[in-house]
Amino acid sequence: MTLNELKIKESAEVLSINCDNVLKNRLYSFGITKGAIVRIEELTLTKSTIEIKINQSKIALRVSEAEKIEVKYAE
């Protein structure tokens, strides 16, 4: 499953990030790494942007970026 498939208020653990190194480094700088727990906070009306919470930070990602992050439901 990928990050963009989660619903609002659902949490998941990052399993892998499948993208080029430029985007991967950007995501790493936000703390989005393998094993990190992320939570979906909001979706825009057009569902083109996702707001996620990781640690104490909120980050907005494009759906095209979220599609590259493989996750599983957090336990």
For residues 49 and 43, the answer to whether their CB atoms sit within 8 Å is: yes
**How far is residue 32's CA from residue 46's CA, in Å, rounded to a whole number?**
24
pTM score, two decimals?
A: 0.89
**CA separation (Å) from 57 to 1, 6, 14, 37, 61?**
23, 18, 16, 12, 13
Residue 19 has pLDDT above 90, yes or no: yes
Label residue 74 by pLDDT band (50, 70, 90): confident
Sign of CA dihedral 37, 42, 8, 49: negative
Label residue 47 by pLDDT band (50, 70, 90): confident
| Stretch 46-61: mean pLDDT | 93
**How far is residue 62's CA from residue 2's CA, in Å, rounded to a whole number?**
13
Residue 41 has pLDDT above 80, yes or no: yes
